[in-house]
Amino acid sequence: MKGGMVRGRSLSPASSRIAAWIAGALAVLCLALVNVGVYTYRIDFYFTGILVVVMINIILAVSLNLINGFTGQFSLGHAGFMAVGAYASALLTIYMEWPFPVVLIGAGIISALIGFLIGLPTLRLRGDYLAIATLGFGEIVRVVILNLKITGGPRGLGGIAPKTTFFIAEIVAILTVIIFSNIVKSSHGRAFVAIREDEIAAEAMGIDTTKYKVLAFSIGAAFAGIAGALFAHHQMFIDPRSFTFTRSIEILVMVVLGGLGSISGSIVAATVLTILPEALRGIAQYRMIAYALLLIGLMLIRPQGLFGTKEIGDLFRLGQRQGNEGRRAQADGGEGQ
């Protein structure tokens, strides 16, 4: 706390709002540059494809963060919901020939329904037990897909029209971030965080904890489904191997690395972790080792993730909070604890 006092340089609310605004403006600028690059073909098709995956991963990470980060319910089944959305959307496109936006919404609704049905019984479980149950769900989805005729079984499902353009992926990702930021800031958002902080206290406050846990789970599942739909129409071919347990772990790593409870963190981590394996191609066979070492190193240095529970705008407000702590340390004289 002494350190806090030394660094305790308070920023006025106005200046921290300007800082948040600058952070937002920088993000928009980056995105604009990428767009110019894509549309003037300065970024090649290969890399544009990676950018689409970045957008899909942002949607996956942000939506899982609502469940794992904000509400504190440890789910390992995100790939399962992604698979549901991917297959549902592919079938809707192939057999119903619905327009793509409708297909996306349909995939979201179907995944949300499944999330609701799975969430209702499993969310009574806590911690490790919930993790195991959701893990089981993900595997069940995969095994069911593997054995159904309509999904093509282990041979996969091909011939899906390539409807996921960079533009669409980008728009859906932006919408996702806006929607989740608003959910988190609303009074519902406070209920989610209260459940994470202390479920019993949240219940004693009059928060219907079951309802909110199932709600977080269903919303998270809906967007995982939409991400799955984008994925299916980007790859044009899906098979059960794309949605294994490893996939759920990849998304979880993005959420934990970015910070449980930070949307900005999820965006940054999803972007970095998607591009990094490509950037490391120079060192060929060692790249996965480098990637793993980076993860271990980062967790040792910042176990709370890149952003902790803070957002980009909050980072500029840090000085103020530490200032408060410093003041408290001064005022807190001789009281029994």
Partner 1 sequence: MLIVEELNVFYGGIHALKEVSFQVKEGEIMTLIGANGAGKTTTLKAISGLIRGRSGSIRYNGEDIASMPAHQIVRKGLSQVPEGRRVFADMSVAENLTLGAYHRKEAISIKSDLEWVYQLFPRLAERQQQMAGTLSGGEQQMLAIGRGLMSHPKLLLLDEPSMGLAPLLVKEIFEIIREINSTGVTILLVEQNAHMALSVADTAYVMETGRVVLSGRAAEVAANAQVRAAYLGA
Euclidean distance between the first and final Cα of the chain, in Å? 17
What is the C-alpha separation between 134 and 132, in angstroms, rounded?
A: 6
Which among 262, 97, 263 is positioned nearest to 173, based on CA atoms? 263
For helices 187-197 and 166-185, angle between their N-to-C axes, nearest 10 degrees: 80
Give the shortest CB-194-to-partner 1 separation in angstroms: 5
Comparison of 17 and 190: residue with beta carbon closer to partner 1: 190
Cβ neighbours of residue 282 closer than 8 Å, sequence gap 6 or more: none
Which among 56, 48, 70 is positioned nearest to 107, based on CA atoms? 56
Comparison of 279 and 329: residue with beta carbon closer to partner 1: 329
Comparison of 44 and 208: residue with beta carbon closer to partner 1: 208
Give the shortest CB-70-to-partner 1 separation in angstroms: 11
What is the C-alpha separation between 42 and 159, in angstroms, rounded?
A: 29
SS3 238: strand
Q: Which residues contribute to the site for partner 1 (CB under 8 A)?
A: 187, 190-191, 193-194, 197-198, 200-209, 309, 321, 324-325, 328, 331-332, 335-337
Give the shortest CB-322-to-partner 1 separation in angstroms: 11
Give the shortest CB-193-to-partner 1 separation in angstroms: 7
The amino acid present at 151, given as its one-letter code, is T
Longest dimension (CA), the chain: 74
Give the shortest CB-190-to-partner 1 separation in angstroms: 6
Contact 111, 130 (CB under 8 A): no
Comparison of 62 and 191: residue with beta carbon closer to partner 1: 191
What is the C-alpha separation between 292 and 302, in angstroms, rounded?
A: 15
Comparison of 140 and 329: residue with beta carbon closer to partner 1: 329
Give the shortest CB-259-to-partner 1 separation in angstroms: 12
Comparison of 188 and 287: residue with beta carbon closer to partner 1: 188
